[in-house]
């Protein structure tokens, strides 16, 4: 830092004005990491940046945000709980269970300090198989070599729910606990019969596999999916359109919201500024241009069916822009954990 006095920003923000904002994301083969990187870039505004109105950064002055690669939702919740990151991306169901001490967190202390900035987009449950194989449905996975997701990932949690709904468990498979990129590579080499990932389509690991060999995605639909949606309130129905992945036909599956989470103790002013930067028009363009899933990140859906309470800084922003108000808050009360 010896050359700091020579830098053009030395007369403006000082070194002590800098702050770092670590965002726990996911694996490089999923969607969290690239989306998290785009968000980190958008909300950052380090000293020396050109002003927003002159084509420069429209982020938070003095903030340097960094996307941190992780295993995924469960690890991100743990990192938030321990205070080792300032924010984290996670599936809505995982966030709700952590907040309430239920579901996969049954028997653990509720993480009642967990708060949300809002919902970013819907994540789809992907189960990819070779198109030339005999696996047509989820029950066909019995006795097969299947990557069910890494320990610490939201994928593993949701795949277990899907298997149970179809009358299967990990013991009925030859399970592997692989990173998405590794799983895709092994599918292409014929070393696994299927791999799973929950992510916003298109997921790079599935795109990679589909670019190397013909693949298809297993449907999760019909009465089984309907029962799952009834018992797991954050599951929804979604269709992954044809050719989202090269040569892969449309498939109906389950989806769950991806939320950007923080701790309740985070400064209201800081989270207000981060939320405002997240939904700035320049950020919208950056997301849309930077990743196909970025086009579906819409402020209008940010507070719909959130899994945990809004951080006061985020709530302040949404009130200012008219997305929530007294009536809206009352109408949405039932969707919030009690």
Give the model's pLDDT for residue 40. 98
Q: What is the pLDDT of residues 296-313, one digit of tens each?
A: 999 999 998 899 999 999
10-24, 57-71, 115-129, 247-261: which range is least confident on average? 10-24
pLDDT, averaged across the chain: 91
Q: What is the pLDDT of residues 156-194, one digit of tens each?
A: 999 999 999 999 999 999 999 999 999 999 999 999 999
Q: Which of 55, 56, 18, 25 is nearest to 40 (CA)?
A: 25
Largest CA distance in the chain: 67
Question: If 0-12 CB within 10 Å is exposed, 13-18 middle and 19+ buried, where does residue 231 land?
Answer: exposed
Give the model's pLDDT for residue 330. 40
Give the model's pLDDT for residue 14. 54
Tokens of 169: 């468990």
Give the model's pLDDT for residue 57. 85
Q: What is the pLDDT of residues 65-104, one digit of tens each?
A: 999 999 999 999 999 999 999 999 999 999 999 999 999 9
Same fold, 16-120+258-335 and 124-256: yes
pLDDT for 135 beyond 60: yes
State which H helix or E strand residue 197 sits in.
Answer: strand 194-199
Instruction: Give the separation between CA 206 and CA 180, rounded to whole angstroms.
Output: 8
Per domain, the residue ranges of the chain are 16-120+258-335, 124-256
Give the model's pLDDT for residue 18. 86
Q: What is the pLDDT of residues 318-335, one digit of tens each?
A: 999 999 975 344 434 333
- Residues 237-258 have a mean pLDDT of 96
Q: What is the pLDDT of residues 196-230, one digit of tens each?
A: 999 999 999 999 999 999 999 999 999 999 999 99
Q: What is the pLDDT of residues 19-64, one digit of tens each?
A: 999 999 999 989 999 999 999 999 999 988 888 888 788 999 999 9
Give me the long-range contacts of 332-338 (CB less than 8 A, separation at least 24).
Answer: 332/303, 335/305, 335/306, 336/306, 336/308, 336/309, 337/96, 337/99, 337/100, 337/307, 337/308, 337/309
Give the model's pLDDT for residue 334. 37
124-256 CATH? 3.40.190.10
pLDDT for 1 beyond 70: no
Tell me which fold the domain 16-120+258-335 belongs to: D-Maltodextrin-Binding Protein; domain 2 (3.40.190)
């Amino acid at each position: 830092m010896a050359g700091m006095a020579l830098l053009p920003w030395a007369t403006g923000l000082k070194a002590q004005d800098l702050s770092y904002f670590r965002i726990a994301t996911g694996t490089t083969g999923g969607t969290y990491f690239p989306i998290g990187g785009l968000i980190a870039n958008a909300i950052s505004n380090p000293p020396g940046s050109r002003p927003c109105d002159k084509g420069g950064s429209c982020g938070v002055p003095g903030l340097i945000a960094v996307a941190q690669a992780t295993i995924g939702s469960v690890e991100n919740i743990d990192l938030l709980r321990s205070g080792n990151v300032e924010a984290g991306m996670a599936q809505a169901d995982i966030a709700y269970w952590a907040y309430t001490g239920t579901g996969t967190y049954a028997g653990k202390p509720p993480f009642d300090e967990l708060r949300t900035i809002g919902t970013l987009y819907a994540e789809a449950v992907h189960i990819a198989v070779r198109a030339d194989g005999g696996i047509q449905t989820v029950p066909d996975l019995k006795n097969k070599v299947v990557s069910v997701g890494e320990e610490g990932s939201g994928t593993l949690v949701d795949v277990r729910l899907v298997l149970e709904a179809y009358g299967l468990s990990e013991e009925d498979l030859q399970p592997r606990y692989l990173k998405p990129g590794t799983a895709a590579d092994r599918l292409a080499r014929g070393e696994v019969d299927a791999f799973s990932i929950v992510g916003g389509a298109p997921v790079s690991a599935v795109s990679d596999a589909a670019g190397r060999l013909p693949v298809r995605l297993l449907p999760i639909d019909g009465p089984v999916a309907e029962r799952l949606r009834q018992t797991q309130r954050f599951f929804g129905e979604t269709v992954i359109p044809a050719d989202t992945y090269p040569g892969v036909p449309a498939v109906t599956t389950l989806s769950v919201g991806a939320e950007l989470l923080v701790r309740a103790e985070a400064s209201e002013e800081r989270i207000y500024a981060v939320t405002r930067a997240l939904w700035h028009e320049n950020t919208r363009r950056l997301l849309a241009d930077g990743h196909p899933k970025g086009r579906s990140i819409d402020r209008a859906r940010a507070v719909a069916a959130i899994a945990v309470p809004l951080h006061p800084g985020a709530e302040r922003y949404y009130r200012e822009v008219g997305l929530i108000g007294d009536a809206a808050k009352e109408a949405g009360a039932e969707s919030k954990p009690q």
